[in-house]
Amino acid sequence: MAKIDLEVVKRILKRADLESSVVSEILGELQSAVADAASEDGEPKAAPEKKQFIIVVADNEGLLTDKEMVGWVLQLPEEDDMTSVSEKLLKTAKSFNLSKKGRKHPVETLGELCEYVPSRIFKEQKLSLKTKVPVLVVPMANALELDTTSQPSSRKVFEDDDAEVF
């Protein structure tokens, strides 16, 4: 909907040769409508829920239980090998340390690399860093043991196994 200044509406109504009482009544209603809309917009909105990243690792043998670990979330192209990530991170650190800013404040740890190195240097190695701050790693068994008796299933179960599903 288009927004029109009340002064423009006032000039248009005066040019229309309407009675001054009608003009003042219309302008009064418009001003109260504008004030009502402004008070509705001024209501404090609920703050959006803050979310955090976590990394869930499948740990069938239980090797990682009771260990506190952190990590960083990276993204790389599908055609690239996942084992090359460590090489690419080392190249990123070397590239940063050779820059003017890197010579002043070189990165020496993975945490420093992820927190302080700009994303453009990661992009040179075809990496995208999704989290600059460390993320909690939560180990979990890969097999999900669901109790199917306590919750009703939302899936439709067909009596006839030969029935066609469309």
Other CB atoms within a 10 A radius of the CB of residue 72 amount to 19
Residues 68 and 112 in one domain: yes
Tell whether 77 and 111 lie within a shared domain: yes
pLDDT exceeding 70 applies to what percent of the chain? 82
- Span 63-108, pLDDT tens digits: 888 888 888 999 988 888 888 888 999 999 999 999 999 999 999 9
Is position 135 within any domain?
yes
Residue-range definition of the domain harbouring residue 63: 54-140
Contacts of 57 (CB under 8 A, 6+ apart): 64, 137, 138, 139, 140
Sole residue written with tokens 């240097």: 121
What DSSP designation does 96 have? H
Does residue 137 sit in helix, strand or coil?
A: strand
Name the β-bridge partners of 57.
Answer: 139
Do the Cβ atoms of 132 and 114 come closer than 8 Å?
yes
88 and 58 share one domain: yes
The secondary structure of 110-130, three-state, reads HHHHHHHCCHHHHHHCCCEEC
**pLDDT > 60? residue 58:** yes
Tell me, yes or no, whether 73 and 101 share the same domain: yes
| Of the ranges 46-50, 52-56, 136-140, 150-154, the best mean pLDDT one | 136-140
User: What pTM, to 2 d.p., does this model score?
Assistant: 0.55
For the chain, what is the domain count? 2
Decide if 124 is inside a domain: yes
- Apex CA 94: angle with CA 92 and CA 96, to 5°? 70
Within this chain, do residues 126 and 64 fall inside the same structural domain, yes or no?
yes
118, 80: one domain: yes
Rg (CA), the chain: 31
